[in-house]
Structure 1
Amino acid sequence: MKLFDLSGRKTLEAASPVPFAEWKDSQQGTAISLPQDVEVEELRPYLSSLTLIVLEFPVFRDGRAFTQARSLREYEGYKGEIRASGHLLPDQAIHLRRCGFDSVALSEDANVKDWEEQLGRYQFYYQNTAVSPV
């Protein structure tokens, strides 16, 4: 796996995420993987102790993780890193960033150049988002 920086921050969390159900029992570590069937509000008491939240995309057409990321940023005020993982396409790069994702976990054979090109595709947006443009 290689990490692709969407945020321009260049310092990405290297911790290995623990599944949320497992982490919730022990609360050991600062990185979790959140499945799509968990409501973001369940994280509210723990957000200050988490540095990385990985949101899963089981298939590229399942966009629930976009909503989770936006909720974490906009409604919960989460400041740590949000990483996308799973089946993603370079075409989704701008949408990921605008919803609050900082990074993407890419497969080793992914073409990073495709992801970089997509981030530079548009320079102006009509809608506000959960995060400021980079």
Structure 2
Amino acid sequence: MKKLSKKILLSILIMSIVFSSVAFAQTSLFETIKNHLTSIKNDYLTKESALTTDGENAQNELKNYVDDIETEIRNELDAYEQSKIQEAKNKLNQEVEKVKDKINNDKENMIEEMKNSIKEKIEKDLNKEIEKLEKNYK
């Protein structure tokens, strides 16, 4: 009986080892397959999605649109500024011409007034000198 119990014990031990290695192998195989399937998820998480490309395209389109609008606004404002500058120059030139015309119209009168002032001064000085002469010889 001792032999039988040793055989049974040995059989149980061998069966336990076999079943545990099968169970271990199955667990290991399960983990390997699970890890492989999980790596598929990583492929999707690490690759660039089409949305990223669409987002970049949308950003580029918006940037180009804003650049075009900015250029259009600048061109319109530059043209407006130049037209206003030209208007201001024209007004300035008109004012200068008005002053020139007025000076030209008044020039003869101004010259006459100045000549009269000079004549009066000289006559006054002459009269003083004549008076001095008269006083000295009286």
Tell which has more relative contact order, 1 or 2 (C-alpha 8 A, sep 6+).
Answer: 1
Same fold (TM over 0.5): no
TM-score normalized by the length of structure 1: 0.13
More strand by share: 1
- In our comparison, the structure showing a higher alpha carbon Rg is 2
